[in-house]
Structure formats: structure tokens, C-alpha cells
């Protein structure tokens, strides 16, 4: 049974999906405001005189190895600061090497050799304390590293009990109370550890294992405590970073750019692509007998660019440098969006093909939605064959439909209708599929509305016709993406402004106001 406009009008939600898809030019018009176009030249005639936020335009130079390493460190710090700022759940975990890996094998063998030597030395008669002394010295430094600057009393106590000069003298005279020192270390760990480690420390206190195994467990818990301490400091640092994050990230990226002048090549190519796409859709101004192309505004150009990020092909094009710190989040948003688009396409096909017998049956729609979502959960994995997955989904849908129809005294689907339904569902893998085109266009409309609105939060729940089935999911994705866009624009606005100005006018502006002022006027969102 073919899909057509008449069929599409009979969805379960009663939405009118028979209207024509919004044209490309209309979509780009919605990204433009009159003030944006009016101020496009004015916004890019100011000088980038503020060194703190001015994108560097130094000529290319040969970098030394030290400069490359320093730039890499700057990028690493930038990525870490950004992750702490935007990811409320960010935590550092103790490093775990993959099982069966060479590095893990080497590390485990080195550790085993150390503990074997320690056990052998302590078993000698008289005992040898060389490795034990080094072990106690390392533990002392770890415990001291946990102390706050003002904890002088605890610091003094640790230094007195774990007095390495005294312990070495005792070792020379075979008078080291190794069990007593271990007991003190465990008690001190109990005073310093986070509540989540209380149970681990309690097990250490109750341990009856030999001294070597006890020290191995002490080191294991100390490693966990080090991670706890770092994460505690991250939690305390986050509010400070959030207050200073825009300035910090912008200044850090500026320093990277000064050392690596080509650090914006991918970003420039991205914005240039958006500009070319936009210019191809904007009609020429033929007023006063002239055929002059309208110059798009910076917000309009960035709006198209941000839409491109949503459908970015990571296999063909490198991500713009200004988005590198958010790549994992962007990929997750993209595959979630693809998953929900495919879900919507399947549901539209089901309702338009079957029509009346399932219209308004919300329980069936919810059951189909949950089932399809689970079966499409692997879309982010390169191992998923979408066509095969859709074949399995269509078979499951036919079973669910027949069950629902039979329960409500309707005849089951005929073999011919089941074949049509399966064929329609599997055909959404084709790029020119009308249902796929419709849904993708409506999703684009949704994100256009969010990107160009100064207060997008009010529009998160306003989804276009046909997308009601994923309204709540779209709102979550939309809020997350707009948050990333606004933060990215706040940090890199001056760099975008400089790139757009050069692309539009191919010249350096005369001296004037700073790039920061230009960015605030042209690129900052409310």
C-alpha cells in the first residue's frame, strides 16, 4: 500500500503531515533577523585590539618540539577544564589497563616482583628491611599529600611516627615494629578517607593476612583514596571554573593559537562551508537596477554552521577545533537524534499504513515505541546494520499489531499488507525516502527555531507536526545541544567573528573597538 499525502493525514495524533516541506530558502530566512543583516558590515569593521581575546593572525612559523609539547599540554588543560565545567558528573577514575594487554602484563609482573622481594626480605633471619623502608616512606608521602595546608597537628604526628631516619636505625638493629606501623597507617587512613571507603578501611583493620598482603591492600585503598581526593577537589573547583570558564578557555585557546597559527584551519573550513551554503540560498538584491548579492549577517552564518554540526560526518571531515572538547557529547547527541528520527519514521509508516484500526490506541503506540527504541539502541555502534535491524523491527511490529487487532476484534494483517508494511519500514534507509526526508526536515525546523531564538527554553516543547511521538526526547536533546552552542559561542565568538569578517570582506578592518565588544554585540546570545 503506497504512502501518500492522504494516508499521512491519518496519524494517531491527528496531525496534518500533508503540507509541503519548508523550502531551503525559507529555513535560512528564519535564521536571519533584519538587525543581523543591517549590522553585518558594521559588526566587522572594528579592530581586534584586545590581546586577551583577540584571535591571533600571525604568519605561519616552524614550531620547535618544545612548542608542540607545550601546545599539547595547553590543549590537555583546556579539555580538562571544559569537561569539569560542563559535565556535572565528571570524575577521575584510577587508571585501569585492558585485560590481556602488554602494558598490564608488564605492570603486574613488576608489582609481583616487588612484593615477592619484600616477602623474601621480611622472611629472612634476621629480616631485611630495605624494601620495607622504601615502602613506608612512599606511604608517608601519600598520607601527607592528603592533608590540607592547615592540618599541622596531623602532619607533625605522621612525621613523628613515620620518622624515616629513626625507622632506618631500628632496621639496622632489627627493631622495626612493622605490624605496629601498619596499624598506625590504617588508623590514619580511616581518619582521612571519604565515607565511601570506610568499609574498605574497616576490612584492613580486621585483616588477618600476612604483612605483605596487608601492605598490598593498603596500597590498593590508597590509590582509591587518591582518586577520591582529586574528585573532591574537582567538586570544589567547579564553581570557580564555571565563573571564570569563558575567559579561561578563550585565553587558553588564544595561547594555543599563538603557538600554532593553523589551529583554526578546520574551523575556518566549517564556517566557509556554511557561508557558501547560505549564499547559494539567498536571492540577489535587484533593487535600483542592480544585481547585488545580499551580505549575510554573522548570526545567520553561525546558525547554518551550528545546524551542520548536528549532522556532521566524522568519517569524512575533521571536527572544527573549537568543538574538539565536546566531540563525545556531540556524537552522543547525533546518534540519539538519528535513533529518534528512525523511531518517528517507523511509527509514521505504521499509522499511515494501518490507519483507523490502531488510531488513538495509546497503549499500542507506547509499546511499539519502547520496542523500537530498544532495537535501535545500537545505532551509535558501527556494527549495527540498520537495514537488518529494521527487518527485525518490522517483523516484531507485525506481531504486536496482529496481537492488538485480535484483542480488539479486528482481523489480523493480511500477508500482502504485512509485506507492504515491512517494505515501507526498510525503505527508510534510502536517502530520498519521502518519510525520512519529511522527518529530517521537521527536525531541522525544530533546531532552527531553537538556534535563532534568544530564549530557546520557551520553544523546547514546541515540536513541529509529526514529531509528537518524540516530543519529550527532542526537548532533552534540544536543551543539551543549545546549551553547548551558547557556551561555545560565548567562548569562541571573537574567533568566529574574525573568521567571518575575513571571509566576507577579505580584508583587515581599521582600528577601532575590541573583538570582545564585537563578539558581545554580534554573536552573544541572551
* Distance, C-alpha 416 to centroid of its chain: 45
Residue 293 confidence (pLDDT): 66
Residues 153-163: tens digit of each pLDDT: 999 999 999 99
Closest to 364 in 3D by CA, of 345, 351, 349: 351
Residues 42-87: tens digit of each pLDDT: 444 333 333 344 454 444 455 554 555 555 566 666 777 677 677 6
* 444-456 average pLDDT score: 89
> 29 or 116: which carries more pLDDT confidence?
116
Residue 58 confidence (pLDDT): 45
* 397-417 average pLDDT score: 88
What is the distance between the alpha carbons of residues 515 and 522, in angstroms, rounded to a whole number?
10
Name, in order, each residue with C-beta under 8 angstroms of 210's C-beta and a sequence gap of 6 or more. 119
SS3 for 99-130 is CCCHHHHHHHHHHHHHHHHHHHHHHCCCCCCH
Name the pLDDT band for 521 (thresholds 50, 70, 90).
Answer: very low
* 447-470 average pLDDT score: 88
Strands (E), 160-293: 284-285, 292-293
Residue 120 confidence (pLDDT): 87
**pTM value surpassing 0.85:** no
Name the pLDDT band for 246 (thresholds 50, 70, 90).
Answer: confident
Residue 74 confidence (pLDDT): 62
Share of the chain above pLDDT 70, in %: 74
> DSSP secondary-structure letter at 457?
G
Contact (CB, 8 A) for 466 and 442: yes
Residue 380 confidence (pLDDT): 62
Share of the chain above pLDDT 90, in %: 25
Residues 157-203: tens digit of each pLDDT: 999 999 999 999 998 888 888 889 999 999 999 999 888 889 989 98
Residue 455 confidence (pLDDT): 84
- Cα separations (Å) of 449 from 231, 368, 452, 457? 38, 29, 6, 11
Residues 33-48: tens digit of each pLDDT: 444 444 444 444 333 3
> 48 or 479: which carries more pLDDT confidence?
479
* 124-153 average pLDDT score: 88
Dihedral angle over CA of 460, 461, 466, 470, nearest 10: 90
What is the distance between the alpha carbons of residues 468 and 138, in angstroms, rounded to a whole number?
61
Report CA torsion sign: 316, 320, 325, 331. negative
> Is it true that the peptide bond before 126 is cis, omega within 30 degrees of 0?
yes
Contact (CB, 8 A) for 292 and 284: yes
Dihedral angle over CA of 262, 268, 269, 273, nearest 10: 180
Report CA torsion sign: 122, 128, 130, 133. positive
Task: Quickly list H helices, 260-361.
Answer: 265-281, 298-310, 327-354
> 114 or 10: which carries more pLDDT confidence?
114
Contact (CB, 8 A) for 456 and 58: no
What is the distance between the alpha carbons of residues 427 and 431, in angstroms, rounded to a whole number?
9
Residues 338-358: tens digit of each pLDDT: 889 999 999 999 888 888 888
> 287 or 480: which carries more pLDDT confidence?
480
Contact (CB, 8 A) for 465 and 442: yes
Residue 313 confidence (pLDDT): 92
What is the gyration radius of the CA atoms in the chain, in angstroms? 32
What is the distance between the alpha carbons of residues 268 and 254, in angstroms, rounded to a whole number?
15
Mapped onto helix, strand or coil, the DSSP state of residue 210 is coil
Residue 207 confidence (pLDDT): 81
Mapped onto helix, strand or coil, the DSSP state of residue 151 is coil
Name, in order, each residue with C-beta under 8 angstroms of 225's C-beta and a sequence gap of 6 or more. 146, 189, 192, 193, 194, 197
Name, in order, each residue with C-beta under 8 angstroms of 152's C-beta and a sequence gap of 6 or more. none
Average predicted confidence (pLDDT) for the chain: 78
Residue 73 confidence (pLDDT): 63
* 315-341 average pLDDT score: 91
Which run of H or E residues covers position 439? helix 434-452
Grid cell locating 84: 569539569
Residue 35 confidence (pLDDT): 41
Amino acid at each position: 500500500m503506497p504512502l501518500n499525502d492522504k494516508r499521512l493525514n491519518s496519524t494517531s495524533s491527528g496531525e496534518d503531515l500533508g503540507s509541503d516541506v519548508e523550502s531551503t530558502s525559507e529555513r535560512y530566512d528564519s535564521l536571519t533577523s533584519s538587525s543581523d543583516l543591517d549590522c553585518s558590515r558594521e559588526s566587522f569593521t572594528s579592530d581586534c585590539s584586545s590581546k586577551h581575546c583577540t584571535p591571533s593572525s600571525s604568519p605561519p612559523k616552524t614550531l620547535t618540539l618544545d612548542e608542540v609539547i607545550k601546545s599539547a599540554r595547553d590543549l590537555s588543560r583546556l579539555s580538562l577544564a571544559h569537561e569539569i565545567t560542563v559535565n556535572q558528573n565528571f570524575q577521575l577514575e584510577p587508571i585501569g589497563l585492558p585485560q590481556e594487554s602488554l602494558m598490564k602484563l608488564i605492570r603486574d609482573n613488576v608489582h609481583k616482583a616487588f612484593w615477592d622481594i619484600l616477602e623474601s626480605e621480611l622472611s629472612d633471619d634476621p629480616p631485611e628491611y630495605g624494601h620495607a623502608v622504601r615502602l613506608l616512606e612512599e606511604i608517608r608521602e601519600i598520607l601527607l599529600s592528603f592533608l590540607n595546608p592547615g592540618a599541622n597537628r596531623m602532619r607533625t604526628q605522621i612525621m613523628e611516627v613515620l620518622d624515616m631516619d629513626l625507622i632506618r636505625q631500628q632496621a639496622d638493629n632489627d627493631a622495626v615494629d612493622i605490624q605496629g606501623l601498619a596499624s598506625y597507617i590504617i588508623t590514619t587512613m580511616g581518619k582521612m578517607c571519604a565515607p565511601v571507603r570506610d568499609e574498605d578501611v574497616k576490612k584492613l583493620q580486621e585483616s588477618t593476612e600476612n604483612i605483605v598482603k596487608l601492605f598490598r591492600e593498603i596500597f590498593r585503598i590508597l590509590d582509591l583514596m587518591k582518586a577520591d581526593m582529586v574528585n573532591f577537589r574537582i567538586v570544589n573547583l567547579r564553581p570557580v571554573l564555571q565563573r571564570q570558564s569563558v575567559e579561561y578557555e578563550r585565553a587558553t585557546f588564544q595561547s594555543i593559537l599563538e603557538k600554532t597559527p593553523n589551529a583554526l584551519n578546520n574551523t575556518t573550513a566549517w564556517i566557509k562551508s556554511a557561508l557558501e551554503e547560505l549564499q547559494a540560498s539567498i536571492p540577489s538584491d535587484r533593487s535600483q537596477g542592480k544585481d547585488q548579492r545580499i551580505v549575510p549577517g554573522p548570526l545567520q552564518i553561525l546558525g547554518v554552521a551550528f545546524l551542520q554540526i548536528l549532522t556532521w560526518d566524522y568519517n569524512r571531515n575533521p571536527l572544527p577545533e573549537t568543538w574538539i572538547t565536546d566531540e563525545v557529547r556531540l556524537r552522543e547527541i547525533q546518534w540519539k537524534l538519528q535513533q529518534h528520527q528512525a523511531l518517528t519514521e517507523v511509527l509514521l509508516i505504521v499509522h499511515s499504513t494501518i490507519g483507523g484500526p490502531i488510531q488513538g490506541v495509546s497503549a499500542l503506540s507506547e509499546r511499539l515505541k519502547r520496542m523500537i527504541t530498544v532495537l535501535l539502541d545500537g545505532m551509535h555502534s558501527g556494527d549495527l546494520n540498520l537495514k537488518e535491524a529494521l527487518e527485525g523491527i518490522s517483523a516484531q511490529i507485525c506481531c504486536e499489531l496482529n496481537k492488538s487487532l485480535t484483542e480488539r476484534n479486528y482481523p489480523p494483517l493480511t500477508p500482502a499488507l504485512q509485506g507492504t508494511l515491512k517494505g515501507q519500514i526498510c525503505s527508510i534507509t534510502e536517502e530520498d525516502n519521502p518519510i525520512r526526508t519529511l522527518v529530517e526536515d521537521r527536525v531541522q525546523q525544530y533546531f532552527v527555531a531553537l538556534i535563532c531564538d534568544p530564549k530557546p527554553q520557551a520553544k523546547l516543547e514546541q515540536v513541529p507536526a509529526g514529531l509528537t511521538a518524540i516530543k519529550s526526547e527532542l526537548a532533552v536533546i534540544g536543551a543539551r545541544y543549545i546549551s553547548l552552542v551558547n557556551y561555545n559561542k560565548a567562548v569562541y565568538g571573537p574567533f568566529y567573528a574574525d573568521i567571518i569578517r575575513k571571509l566576507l570582506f577579505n580584508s583587515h578592518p581599521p582600528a577601532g573597538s575590541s573583538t570582545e565588544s564585537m563578539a558581545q554585540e554580534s554573536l552573544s546570545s541572551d
